[in-house]
């Protein structure tokens, strides 16, 4: 069973649930942020949106909600946790991933399809991609500029934690074109692009689908 976490202001939850249920054919349930029991879950997706209206910092308030201690427990147990867009911001602010997402360098909300290069396929979410492969997914964010200190950046490179980089122009000013990062164990990943909006041909592309397929495959192999 995969859970899709809903905070007030989350707005991509139904899209992710649809993809997991219809395109990937896997059991999925919404998880309201006040739910107290996540024991039945094998994996979790924190979808995009504007949790708590993006007040304070994007993702900051959601990241400190009590349910996050259970999310951290799942992460420690090695269960896959995927943060998309606002979900990525939440994972960073909660300390589950290194770095932070600052305001886009152009200050504008950017909404378009982008090319992305797969930097690392050795984690729970990227198995079905080739290293160096260029894929297309849409982005839609105002605070997507990935930043961290130099030491963390080198450490991430050394440990192969950068999973995706923007392959064309850098849409938000992210350090070293970073679009997605994973933890060292490879079971927690965050990315600014929206794989759920690129999982069915009718929406313009299917390049994002393999992230969910890989996640589900890794769960079923356990």
Give catalytic residue positions: 85, 194, 196
For 103, list phi and psi in degrees, rounded to 5.
-60, 140
Pick between residue 22 and residue 157 the one whose CB is nearest to another protein. Answer: 157
State yes or no: residue 57 binds another protein (CB under 8 A).
yes
Minimal distance in Å, beta carbon 93 to another protein? 6
Q: In which order are the strands placed within the sheet that holds 188-191?
A: 28-32, 2-6, 43-46, 81-84, 188-191, 178-182, 162-166, 110-118, 134-141
Q: For residues 83-118, b (16+ Cβ closer than 10 Å) or e, as one string?
A: bbbbbbbbbbbbebbbbbbbbbeeeeebeebbebbb
State yes or no: residue 93 binds another protein (CB under 8 A).
yes
By CB under 8 A, name the one of 21, 103, 127, 136 that touches another protein.
Answer: 103
State yes or no: residue 110 binds another protein (CB under 8 A).
no
Question: What token pair was written down for 161?
Answer: 């934690």
Pick between residue 24 and residue 175 the one whose CB is nearest to another protein. Answer: 175
CB 87 within 8 A of CB 140: no
By CB under 8 A, name the one of 96, 124, 135, 148 that touches another protein.
Answer: 148
Pick between residue 112 and residue 151 the one whose CB is nearest to another protein. Answer: 151
Q: Report the distance separating Cα 206 and Cα 193, nearest Å.
A: 13
Minimal distance in Å, beta carbon 64 to another protein? 5
State yes or no: residue 173 binds another protein (CB under 8 A).
yes
Kindly list the residues in this chain that would bind another protein in the complex (CB under 8 A).
56-57, 60-61, 64, 92-93, 99-100, 102-107, 147-149, 173
């Amino acid at each position: 069973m995969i859970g899709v976490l809903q905070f007030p202001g989350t707005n991509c939850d139904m899209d992710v649930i649809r993809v997991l249920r219809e395109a990937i054919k896997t059991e999925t349930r919404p998880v309201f942020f006040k739910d107290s029991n996540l024991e039945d879950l094998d994996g979790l997706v924190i979808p995009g949106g504007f949790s708590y209206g993006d007040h304070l910092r994007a993702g900051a308030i959601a990241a400190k909600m009590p349910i996050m201690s259970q999310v951290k427990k799942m992460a420690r147990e090695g269960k896959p946790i995927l943060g998309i867009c606002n979900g990525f911001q939440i994972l960073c602010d909660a300390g589950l991933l290194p770095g932070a997402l600052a305001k886009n360098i152009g200050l504008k909300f950017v909404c378009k399809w982008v090319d992305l290069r797969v930097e690392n396929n050795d984690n729970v979410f990227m198995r079905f991609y080739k290293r160096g492969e260029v894929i297309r997914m849409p982005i839609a964010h105002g605070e997507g500029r990935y930043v961290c200190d130099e030491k963390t950046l080198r450490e991430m490179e050394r440990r192969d934690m950068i999973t995706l980089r923007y392959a064309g122009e850098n849409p938000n000013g992210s350090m070293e074109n970073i679009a997605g990062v994973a933890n060292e164990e490879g079971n927690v990943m965050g990315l600014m692009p929206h794989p759920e909006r690129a999982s069915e041909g009718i929406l313009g592309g299917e390049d994002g689908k393999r992230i969910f397929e890989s996640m589900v495959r890794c769960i079923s192999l356990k």
